[in-house]
Structure formats: structure tokens, C-alpha cells
Structure 1
Amino acid sequence: MTENELATIAVDICYKIHTTLGSGLLESVYESAFAYELEKRGITYLRQPEIPVFYEDKLLDVGFRADIIMGSKLLIEIKSVEHLEKVHHKTVITYLKLAEIKLAILVNFNVNLIREGIHRKINGELE
């Protein structure tokens, strides 16, 4: 599947979760529901994978954990906050670069309409 095909599925999953659970829950609840939906659909994914960070040629002890990576091509960053800040968007772009992935979906489930909480982030050109 392409990045865009995976993104379409991710948006559908976000919509289903938001209409079922609503807003205001912990991010971990939405992440669990997202993983469950991926399993039901037979889509490969990693949940909370460690992404290494290199400085020059040195592997640093610190890095980050992505919430979900779908099919090794789409990074999903899940939030449940009053509103997304600029730093959330910048952080996802950095995650994309470090994970060497081209597309991310940053989703904030703490919104009235889920379409207001979904943001695509691109690192480079898509296939």
C-alpha cells in the first residue's frame, strides 16, 4: 500500500474512534483503539517503536517512541489536548526525518469534529 492509501485508512479509523468514544480521553485509549482497528483490518503496524537518534556518527541514548507506524510508511502521532501547538507540528516533522518516513498524520482527538483534529505532515515527496 502507498502512503496515501494508508493515510486514507488512518483517517477512516480516526473518524470511527472519535464517533464511538468521543473526545477527552487519554491518548493511550485512542492509541489502543487505533491498534485494535489496524488488527481487525489486517494492516501491519508497530506500536510505540523506539526510533534511534544519531548525532554525527554517535547513537544517543535518548530518542523517541512513535505512537504507531503503519506498514513502515505512515507515522501516526496521537494527541488529546485542548489545542495543538506549533511545537506539536514541528515535532512530527522531526520524527518523520529521524524515522526516515515520508508521511505522518497528527491527530488530536480532543475536538468537536475529528476533521478539525487531523493534520497531514510530509517529509519529502510521496510515491
Structure 2
Amino acid sequence: MLHEEISGAVVNAAMKVHSVLGPGLLESAYEACLAYELRKLGLDVETQVPLPVVYEGVRIDAGYRIDLKVAGVILVEIKAVSAIAPIHKAQLLSYLKLSGLKVGLLLNFNVVHLRDGLTRMIM
């Protein structure tokens, strides 16, 4: 599958999860349900993937985690906040740089319509 197809599958699965659960739950609930939906589609999904910081050539585990890594190529960061702030977008950009992945999705499930909580970034 191509990046576009995989990210499309993620968005569609996220919309299904949001339609069923609605806003107001913890990020962990959306993460678990989205991972379940994506696995049902036959996609490889890793959750809470450690993301080290490389500083002066040394890998340092600073406690960062990628919420979902889909098919080894799409980074998904899940939020359940009243509004996406610039720092959330900066976090996604930093995670893309640290991971070496090219496509990232920021999904905020605490919205009435998920389309209003969706940000896609390409490196």
C-alpha cells in the first residue's frame, strides 16, 4: 500500500471510532479502538513505540512514545483536547524528524466532527 492509501485507511478508521465513541473519552480509549480497527483491515499496527532522542550521536531514551505506527510508514499522534495548539503540531513534526518517518497524522477526538480535528503532515 502507498502512503496515501494507508493514511486514508487510518482516517476512515478514525472516523468510524469517533462515530461510535464520540468525544469526551481518554486518548488511550481512542488509541486502543483505532488500533483494533486498523488491525481488522490487515494493517500492521504498533502502539506506544519508544522514540529515542539522538543527541551528539548518542541514543537517549527520554520517555517519548509514538501513539501508533501504521504499516511501518505512518505516524499517528492521538489527542483528546479542547483544541489543537501549535505545540501539538510541533510535537508531530519533531516526532517525524526523530523517527525518520515521512507522513504523520494528528487526530483530535475531542471534537464534534473528526474532520475538524485532523491534521496531516508530510516531511
Q: TM-score range by the shorter chain?
A: over 0.9
Q: CA RMSD in A?
A: 0.8
Match of 1:90 in 2: 90
The alpha carbon displacement at 1:61 in A equals: 3.0
- Measure, in 2, the Cα distance between the counterparts of 1:11 and 1:51: 23
Q: Deviations over 1:40-88 (max 9, x none)?
A: 1110111111012110111223141100000110000000000010000
How far the C-alpha of 1:118 sits from its partner, in A, is: 0.6
Greater fraction strand: 2
> Do residues 56 (structure 1) and 56 (structure 2) align?
yes
Gap regions ≥5 residues in structure 1: none
Other structure's SS at 1:98 match? helix
Sequence identity, in percent? Answer: 40
Residue 17, structure 1, aligned to residue 17, structure 2: yes
Moved more, 17-26 or 56-65: 56-65
2:112 match: secondary structure: coil
Q: Which runs of 4 or more aligned residues in structure 1 lie more than 6 Å from their structure 2 counterparts after TM superposition?
A: none
Contact 1:13 1:37 in 2 (8 A): yes
Mapped to 2, the partners of 1:9 and 1:61 lie a distance apart of 31
Taking structure 2 as the reference length, what is the TM-score of the superposition?
A: 0.97
Tell me the number of residue pairs that the alignment of Structure 1 and Structure 2 aligns.
Answer: 123
Structure 2: any 5+ residue segments left out of the alignment?
Answer: none
